């Protein structure tokens, strides 16, 4: 076999391989294939496997048949109570009609763009009839279900089925959030001031009652102390009077000794100096202690005279009691 024949055989084999490669295509388990002939859909392949096509005449478009996710950018909506809200939503969908999908949006990127516009407009329309409280708390599930149904109706025309639409975050704009936070802080400060004022009022009442109780207790204690002191003085005077009545001479002698100690003892300013006559009545216990014991005790100069016991008469010559 000549070299020319070998070259021609190799070229023919290469052409056959190229034609075979161009005539076959593989459909994966996660794909749907559309066979197009001059741009028109000739066949729709839903099952995975190896298939044939006419090379250079037919082309294959593969579409993902899995559940697809679409994260929407944040958008601001105005509710029925004229509050501006920031909505962060996402949706999940799948291709149900591959022919219509290809004819309307061509690919997943086009489907995401069209579906995002539909969801944004539907969300604005539905949430415009609800208040902030409805969206956040009371009617959230109802509103989401309404958005999903309306979006699904419009998505059917694109060959899509919307499985779920969720509002991931519903919040006030940043400036509104700061204003709300400031208002909440002011309200809490006012409540704290009211509680402090009430506590101060209660504390003042407690202090006033305590001061009043202290004053009453002190007055009662002073009264009882004065009563007990008077009773003690009376008992002391009674005891002294009884002792004087038992032995007047000893009592007079004892009082004289006290008078001598008081009159002749040293004081804080120095020793005491007295100018008296030796035969003065003040010194009678020094002259004749026996006879002096029969007379009343002398008093220190400037001191009041001793009073006789109850029931006894003052000795002759004694000055009258004051």
DSSP letters of 110-160? HHHHHHHHHHHHHHHHHHTTS-HHIIIIISHHHHHHHHHHHHHHHHGGGTE
Same domain (yes/no): 96, 150: yes
Instruction: Let me know the angle formed at the C-alpha of 314 by 310 and 319, rounded to the nearest 5 degrees.
Output: 125
Residues 133, 39: Cα–Cα separation, whole Å: 52
Same domain (yes/no): 55, 77: no
Domain span at 76 = 68-176
Question: Would you say residue 205 lies in a domain?
Answer: no
Same domain (yes/no): 94, 147: yes
End-to-end distance of the chain based on CA atoms, in angstroms?
A: 176
Same domain (yes/no): 22, 113: no
Same domain (yes/no): 88, 123: yes
Same domain (yes/no): 152, 82: yes
Question: Would you say residue 149 lies in a domain?
Answer: yes
Report, as an integer, the average pLDDT of 129-145. Answer: 85
Whether pLDDT at 60 is above 60: yes
- Name the domain boundary from 64, 85, 100: 64
In the chain, the percentage of residues whose pLDDT exceeds 70 is 82
Question: Would you say residue 171 lies in a domain?
Answer: yes
Question: Would you say residue 259 lies in a domain?
Answer: yes
Question: Would you say residue 195 lies in a domain?
Answer: no
**Share of the chain residues as helix, strand and coil, in percent rounded to the nearest 5:** 55, 20, 25
- pLDDT score recorded for residue 305: 46
Same domain (yes/no): 45, 57: yes
The residue ranking higher by pLDDT, 14 or 32, is 32
- pLDDT score recorded for residue 131: 85
Rg for the chain, CA atoms, rounded: 62
Residues 123, 78: Cα–Cα separation, whole Å: 11
Same domain (yes/no): 73, 118: yes
Question: Would you say residue 199 lies in a domain?
Answer: no
Same domain (yes/no): 164, 138: yes
Same domain (yes/no): 91, 169: yes
Question: Would you say residue 271 lies in a domain?
Answer: no
* Per-residue pLDDT tens over the stretch 92-121: 999 999 999 999 998 999 999 999 999 999
- pLDDT score recorded for residue 17: 80
Question: Would you say residue 221 lies in a domain?
Answer: no
Same domain (yes/no): 54, 76: no
CATH code assigned at 83 = 3.30.479.30
Whether pLDDT at 292 is above 70: no
Whether pLDDT at 315 is above 70: no
Domain tally, the chain: 3
Q: How confident is the model at residue 318 (pLDDT cuts 50, 70, 90)?
A: very low
Same domain (yes/no): 84, 98: yes
Mean confidence (pLDDT) of the chain: 80
* Per-residue pLDDT tens over the stretch 161-208: 999 998 888 877 777 667 777 888 889 999 999 999 999 999 999 999
- Name the domain boundary from 6, 30, 64: 64
- Name the domain boundary from 176, 202, 223: 176
Lowest mean pLDDT among 73-87, 155-169, 208-222: 73-87
- pLDDT score recorded for residue 195: 93
Whether pLDDT at 260 is above 80: no
Residues 73, 89: Cα–Cα separation, whole Å: 7
């Amino acid at each position: 076999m000549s070299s020319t024949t070998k070259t021609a055989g190799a070229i023919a084999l290469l052409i056959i391989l190229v034609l075979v490669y161009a005539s076959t295509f593989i459909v994966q388990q996660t794909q749907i294939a559309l066979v197009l002939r001059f741009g028109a859909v000739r066949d729709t392949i839903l099952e995975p496997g190896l298939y044939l096509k006419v090379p250079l005449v037919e082309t294959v478009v593969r579409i993902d048949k899995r559940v697809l996710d679409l994260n929407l950018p944040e958008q601001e909506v105005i509710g029925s109570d004229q509050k501006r809200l920031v909505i962060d939503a996402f949706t999940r969908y799948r291709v149900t009609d591959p022919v219509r999908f290809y004819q309307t949006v061509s690919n997943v990127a086009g489907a995401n763009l069209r579906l995002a516009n539909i969801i944004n407009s539907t969300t604005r329309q539905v949430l415009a009839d609800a208040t902030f409280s409805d969206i956040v708390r009371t009617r959230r599930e109802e509103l989401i279900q309404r958005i999903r149904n309306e979006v699904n109706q419009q998505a059917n025309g694109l060959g899509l089925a919307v499985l779920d639409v969720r509002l991931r975050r519903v919040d006030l704009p940043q400036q509104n959030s700061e204003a709300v936070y400031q208002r909440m802080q002011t309200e809490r400060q006012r409540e704290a001031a009211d509680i402090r004022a009430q506590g101060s009022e209660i504390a003042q009442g407690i202090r006033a009652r305590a001061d009043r109780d202290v004053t009453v207790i002190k007055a009662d204690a002073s009264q009882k102390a004065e009563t007990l002191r008077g009773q003690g003085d009376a008992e002391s005077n009674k005891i002294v009077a009884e002792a004087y009545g038992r032995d007047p001479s000893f009592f007079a002698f004892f009082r004289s000794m006290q008078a001598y100690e008081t009159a002749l003892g040293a004081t804080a300013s120095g020793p005491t100096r007295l100018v008296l006559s030796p035969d003065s009545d003040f010194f009678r216990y020094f002259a004749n202690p026996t006879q002096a014991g029969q007379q009343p005790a002398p008093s220190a100069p400037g001191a009041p005279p001793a009073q006789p016991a109850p029931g006894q008469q003052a000795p002759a010559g004694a000055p009258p009691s004051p």
